[in-house]
Structure 1
Amino acid sequence: MKSASLIICIFFITNLLSAQLTDNTKREGDKADPANSPIYAYYEWENEIPNDCPFEQSEDITKVVFTGRFANYTAADTWYLQSANDGNLYSPWTDGEMDGFSTNSNIRSNAVGQAKVIGSDPLNLKFENLGRMWAGGTNYYPCVSIIVDETFYIGTYNAFNDEGYFNGFRYSKNWNHFTSNTEPDWKNQYWTNAIDLDGNFFNEKGKAKFRTPHAVNFAKNDKAEDGHIYLSAHGYSSGNGKNNWDKGDAIYLCRADASPESITNAESYEFFAGHTRNGKPIWEKGVENAKPILDWPNHLGSESITYFPKMDKYILMTCRLKEAEENLPYNVTIFWESDKITGPYKIVHYMRDWGAQTYFPNITSQFINNDGTSAWMTVASNYSVQNINPHQNRYAASMHELAFVLKDKPFKEVKLDLKNIAPMAKVWATSFEEDSRPEAVIDGIIDTKTGDKTKEWISHEGKGAMIKLEWDDAKTIDRIRVYDSPAADRWIKEGYFVFSDGSMEWMYAAPSNGAQTPTEIKFPPKTVKWVKFTITDGVADLSAAPLAGLRLGVSEIQVFEVD
């Protein structure tokens, strides 16, 4: 009888893990088409603040509007991008795949991944995997991600154990290297392992307040003007309520000096403990003294705070999923604002089922736009649902441009008056397939359905194929858009542009595989007579013509003159 029970148990566990693995392979990520779009297509998600909301509604920020521009990278989640002095961004990641490399914090490797992100435009980034490292045990996921004073810190927490805690940090001053250490006793020449051996960094008792902390994003070096780094966290409320990876009924705040000795030492932290009678924040040692900056049972969850200097506002984002939820019958993403990091926070926009299943919201300071009121938010969405709405929300580093509408500043949609000068150019290519025409890239026809080879340039060279556009007179340009072949069996993934002035620009982000949307490459204005585009990466089905080489195509190239 015991033997039969054991077999049944093994069968159940095996099938459970298999189901999780199968679900991972179904997650769309950047494989869905289109994966990104530079086209403005404004929309507002209904603001459904509940009638019984106990918080004051913001008067300074009236609502949130999405520009409709988006970009999705990888097929993994848990992205918290941070800027480094080398001009790149870095982030942990987990539970998915990138560049054929997979990691997962509760099955397979029990590890946390690291990645480098190249580029400064959210619409044109390149994500490179930097390996993975043991996270402290099964179910430990990344949460804190911060680069301060040229040191990168990654913190992890026990995600699926409701009595689990934050277990501390790994940190490095020289992290831009591939490394893979998945053993509990790992040692690494680049990273210092400073996790708490007991798995309870803040020595919390019972349900945690700081189980899942995240770094507050500041404009300079990710520390505040007072020299501290700040961590927010979602946790329990008055000893009750939800307390897991995506649900916490209260939001808490702590701070420490910005040094490895302080950040990795729990005794160095001060916790927000309320306000004095005249409204000044109280900071005390000891996590048991922490009081919430926001408390709203059944509505709060995974959170992040970013400071917007031009608005002089702290923007708080919270997400809560309805999975295993007894009180909230929908997923919810909420935007909040405050003049001070400790609050009081006022509610701005309450979105039900945006995604539909969205979590881990954050805005890195580098992706606050020059106007100071719009920015790119990174989330992950739909790890277990397929009814995606809107279409751009993916299980990925899913990036969405949004604008905060101010009461005293009329909101205007961006309306681009772009002048495409590509049709004025002469076109030359290193090679082209029969019936294919290099001139088709400037004919103004973006073929998304027929697959007519006469309406696109197809080269059998594959990687290394080059096409050139040249004008009779010098032109001043500042952006280029590339539409891929409409054929599903060939897809350009990456390339670069060389200009007559000697400069170069990379196309990191792949255009839509079905030519539905382009990749846009923006750059400071440059005056040139010609531009060459070279394909450096792509995929194609070789079974149809195995001897023809790697057939890759471009439906259209648009070059825009500066107005």
Structure 2
Amino acid sequence: MEIQSKQNNGKLIVLFILLIILCQNNLTAQQRDISYVPKPWLARVWVPEIPNDCPFKRSNDFSAIAFLGNHVSYTDADTWYPSWAIDGNMYSGFADGEIGLESTHSSGGVKANTGNAKIEGDDPMHLKISSLGLQYASALPYQGRYPCANLVYNGIWYYGTYGIDFDPNPDNKKYSWAICGPLPGFRISKDYGKTWIPCPYTLDNPLFPESGKNGNFVKMGTPHFVDFGQNLENSPDGYAYLVGHGGANDDPYPRVANNSWIAGDAVYMARVKPSPETINSLDSYEFFAGNDKNGNPVWSHNILDIKPVMEWMHHMGCTNITYDKPLHKYLMCVTDGWPGIENMNSYILESDNVTGPYKLITYMKDFGSQGYFMTIPSKFIARDGKTFWLSYSANFSQDYFGDITKANPVGSRYAWNLQQVQMVDNKQEQALLMKMKTGEPDPIKSDKNIGLRANVVVSSALRDARPMTELHQYFGEGAVDGVVDPESKNKLNEWVSDGETNTAFIRLNWKEPQKISKIWLFDRPDLKNQITSGMLVFSDGSTINVSALPNNGNVTKEITFPEKKATWLAFIIKSVSKTTTNVGLAEIAVFK
């Protein structure tokens, strides 16, 4: 992948040089150096768009989620459900992608494998993620086998998987993994992933006696452990709770892919006191069987007695629950991703009890815009209980993958994504909405900067200074992330070339023509690396020669010109200072 990207970038350099030589059409432009003072991101409220048939009452305490702007993405893989272990680290499975050069493929049938990862650090923006290797386990009689229920308790790692299938009808191409299979059981590690005891069951003989074959549907689909904090410290009774999603017996209008990895009708629950002896013993589990006449939960050892914790026909899907200790509340994240390859909707609910009733905080239509596997890691809940980090992956299917313009909110991509958010009440929501209209945001963090939603290509990227990805589409994202750090503490907020000086370039692309009249260019804050001249090239062949950029992050080069339309623009470095070894940009902002 890396070799191919360098070859492609080399071809692009040649094309750009030819373009400059053959098609120079200099624009009249004004240039000046202006001071820049960074400002925090303006909080952005995601206004709920709640479907009319939503059966859940609204929360009395919260009305929406505000995104605070801080975000980060790690790896090129999805299916992250971190568990906070007693050693202070988090551990998670991962699937269908890479951590560095180690790759997992969970759709391999008999050769399906899943990854194991260790997550170190307390600051979500600066985590260290290491692969602990892959484990192979056959997906047969299904086609895929993916991570789900993940728990590290008293130093023992319990790792669950589930099976999935494509719809057998070859004409149903608009569905992704339309059939959800069962949880076969758990593999176990007593040394934090160094060695494993294999799962004693298979997908055709699973721990929970369910099947997605022959028109059947599962109820404990893609189950996940409720996050009770570090080492289950906040479990009310010593149990580990599992929450899954599945079909409903009373569905009057069954549809294709209704019980898939990401869609369903209802949420179900089970619990177990975890140990190596109980985790794979069906007799050790209790299943939620409804409430008694006083509203108290009833539990049964018979899975046939299982009843929904909550139900919303054709609107439920992958579900995770986290206990918010400061608020003494349970927060439930649900993604309704039907049909599986289009935009997805996610919503968050709250309850005083793990079994509910749950009340709706927000419904985020088109979150991601194809966001999924949403959860709230308890390790990253702030002391106020209202501020935390959403964990999710996004934009995996062909029409979304690698396309930054699809990111909603900014920073969403195929990876492990973390977004800092805050729950707000109605009064706070209205105040923030007013501030969004009347406030004065940092220009490079505002919607007016269309660079934030551009696809980026760079001539090269220094490995130590690029995002945690092997996908060249993201190598230059540090130059369009809305962040300029004058002290250059974090090179991930820059584009740093790999040993290039002149002829290095960065190109921004949009799918539709954009109106452009102003560009800000920030040189890298590293005083040893300075661009002394460059050229802007636009998709219509016009060019602007650019003089030396200010050699620090407190001043930007502003280039203004008569409004023009372009589907792409490139900045090509023509000359640099004598001390330059890795030319690049701290940021390129493009304004209408």
| Aligned-partner Cα distance in 1 for 2:476–2:63 | 35
Distance 1:155 1:305, change over 3 A: same
Greater shift, 50-59 or 385-394, is seen at 385-394
Distance 1:533 1:400, change over 3 A: closer
358, 375, 380: which is aligned to 1:345? Answer: 358
What secondary structure, in the 3-state scheme, does the structure 2 residue paired with 1:249 have?
A: strand
Give the corresponding residue for 1:288: 304
Residue 490 of structure 1 and its aligned partner are, at CA, apart by: 4.1
Aligned CA RMSD, in angstroms, stands at 3.7
| Aligned-partner Cα distance in 2 for 1:270–1:96 | 35
Residue 539 of structure 1 and its aligned partner are, at CA, apart by: 7.5
Distance 1:82 1:39, change over 3 A: farther
Distance 1:38 1:334, change over 3 A: farther
Give the corresponding residue for 1:256: 272
- Give 1:321's aligned amino acid: G
Does the 8 A contact of 1:122 with 1:367 survive in 2?
Answer: yes
Residue 38 of structure 1 and its aligned partner are, at CA, apart by: 11
Residues 352-384 of structure 1 show CA distances to partners (whole Å, capped at 9, x for unaligned) of 111111111111110111221111111111111
Residue 169 of structure 1 and its aligned partner are, at CA, apart by: 0.7
Distance 1:196 1:46, change over 3 A: same
- Give 2:581's aligned amino acid: R
363, 377, 382: which is aligned to 2:376? Answer: 363
Residue 556 of structure 1 and its aligned partner are, at CA, apart by: 7.4
Does the 8 A contact of 1:487 with 1:513 survive in 2?
Answer: no
1:395 maps onto 2:414 in alignment = yes
Distance 1:230 1:489, change over 3 A: same
Residue 148 of structure 1 and its aligned partner are, at CA, apart by: 1.2
Give the corresponding residue for 1:493: 464
Does the 8 A contact of 2:286 with 2:299 survive in 1?
Answer: yes
Give the corresponding residue for 1:212: 222
What secondary structure, in the 3-state scheme, does the structure 2 residue paired with 1:166 have?
A: coil
Does the 8 A contact of 1:96 with 1:103 survive in 2?
Answer: yes
Distance 1:172 1:539, change over 3 A: farther
1:514 maps onto 2:479 in alignment = yes
Residues 85-133 of structure 1 show CA distances to partners (whole Å, capped at 9, x for unaligned) of 3332211001112202211111495100111112111111122111110
What secondary structure, in the 3-state scheme, does the structure 2 residue paired with 1:77 have?
A: coil
- Give 1:551's aligned amino acid: T
Distance 1:517 1:126, change over 3 A: farther
Give the corresponding residue for 2:156: 151
| Aligned-partner Cα distance in 1 for 2:422–2:156 | 31
| Aligned-partner Cα distance in 1 for 2:245–2:364 | 19
Alignment of 1:147-296 (within 5 A): 147-160=152-165, 162=179, 164-177=181-194, 190-197=195-202, 198-204=204-210, 206-222=216-232, 224-238=235-249, 240=251, 241=254, 242-296=258-312
Alignment of 1:305-454 (within 5 A): 305-323=321-339, 331-384=344-397, 385-386=399-400, 387-406=406-425
Residue 489 of structure 1 and its aligned partner are, at CA, apart by: 3.3
Alignment of 1:120-131 (within 5 A): 120-131=122-133
Does the 8 A contact of 1:74 with 1:396 survive in 2?
Answer: yes
What secondary structure, in the 3-state scheme, does the structure 1 residue paired with 2:185 have?
A: strand
Does the 8 A contact of 1:228 with 1:258 survive in 2?
Answer: yes
Alignment of 1:3-14 (within 5 A): none
What secondary structure, in the 3-state scheme, does the structure 2 residue paired with 1:303 have?
A: strand
Residues 217-244 of structure 1 show CA distances to partners (whole Å, capped at 9, x for unaligned) of 0124126131000000011111644211
| Aligned-partner Cα distance in 1 for 2:380–2:112 | 31
Structure 1 runs not aligned, ≥5 long? 1-21, 23-36, 178-189, 416-445, 447-485, 496-509, 522-529, 558-563
- Give 1:244's aligned amino acid: S
Distance 1:256 1:132, change over 3 A: same
Does the 8 A contact of 2:386 with 2:422 survive in 1?
Answer: yes
- Give 1:395's aligned amino acid: Y
- Give 1:150's aligned amino acid: G
Distance 1:86 1:531, change over 3 A: farther
Distance 1:551 1:176, change over 3 A: farther
| Larger RCO: 1 or 2 (CA < 8 Å, sep 6+) | 2
Does the 8 A contact of 1:61 with 1:406 survive in 2?
Answer: yes
What secondary structure, in the 3-state scheme, does the structure 2 residue paired with 1:207 have?
A: coil
Distance 1:243 1:101, change over 3 A: same
| Aligned-partner Cα distance in 2 for 1:86–1:411 | 42
What secondary structure, in the 3-state scheme, does the structure 1 residue paired with 2:408 have?
A: coil
What is the number of residues matched between the two proteins? 414
Does the 8 A contact of 2:498 with 2:582 survive in 1?
Answer: no
Does the 8 A contact of 1:512 with 1:519 survive in 2?
Answer: no
Distance 1:403 1:511, change over 3 A: farther
Give the corresponding residue for 1:450: none
| Aligned-partner Cα distance in 1 for 2:420–2:54 | 27
Distance 1:128 1:552, change over 3 A: farther
Residues 309-363 of structure 1 show CA distances to partners (whole Å, capped at 9, x for unaligned) of 11111111100124369xxx95210111111111111112111111111111111
Residue 143 of structure 1 and its aligned partner are, at CA, apart by: 0.5
What secondary structure, in the 3-state scheme, does the structure 1 residue paired with 2:184 have?
A: strand
Distance 1:163 1:251, change over 3 A: closer
| Aligned-partner Cα distance in 1 for 2:41–2:460 | 28
Structure 2 runs not aligned, ≥5 long? 5-37, 167-178, 401-405, 436-443, 445-456, 467-474, 504-577, 588-592
Alignment of 1:474-485 (within 5 A): none
Does the 8 A contact of 1:105 with 1:135 survive in 2?
Answer: no
Give the corresponding residue for 1:114: 116
Residues 285-315 of structure 1 show CA distances to partners (whole Å, capped at 9, x for unaligned) of 1211111111001111111000111111111
Does the 8 A contact of 1:67 with 1:403 survive in 2?
Answer: yes
Residues 115-160 of structure 1 show CA distances to partners (whole Å, capped at 9, x for unaligned) of 1112111111122111110133240000011111111111000022
Residues 499-532 of structure 1 show CA distances to partners (whole Å, capped at 9, x for unaligned) of xxxxxxxxxxx995427455989xxxxxxxx999
Residue 541 of structure 1 and its aligned partner are, at CA, apart by: 3.7
What secondary structure, in the 3-state scheme, does the structure 2 residue paired with 1:288 have?
A: helix
Give the corresponding residue for 1:429: none
Does the 8 A contact of 2:64 with 2:426 survive in 1?
Answer: no
Residue 404 of structure 1 and its aligned partner are, at CA, apart by: 1.3
Give the corresponding residue for 1:92: 93
Alignment of 1:132-147 (within 5 A): 132-137=134-139, 138-147=143-152
**What TM-score do the two structures reach when normalised by structure 2?**
0.63
Does the 8 A contact of 1:493 with 1:511 survive in 2?
Answer: no
Does the 8 A contact of 2:79 with 2:147 survive in 1?
Answer: yes
Distance 1:220 1:99, change over 3 A: closer
| Aligned-partner Cα distance in 1 for 2:290–2:222 | 20
Residue 51 of structure 1 and its aligned partner are, at CA, apart by: 2.0
| Aligned-partner Cα distance in 2 for 1:125–1:191 | 25
| Aligned-partner Cα distance in 1 for 2:428–2:461 | 46
- Give 2:327's aligned amino acid: M
- Give 2:145's aligned amino acid: Y
- Give 2:245's aligned amino acid: H
Distance 1:44 1:265, change over 3 A: same
Residues 446-492 of structure 1 show CA distances to partners (whole Å, capped at 9, x for unaligned) of 9xxxxxxxxxxxxxxxxxxxxxxxxxxxxxxxxxxxxxxx9863446
Give the corresponding residue for 1:437: none
**What TM-score do the two structures reach when normalised by structure 1?**
0.66
| Aligned-partner Cα distance in 2 for 1:541–1:103 | 28
Distance 1:372 1:397, change over 3 A: same
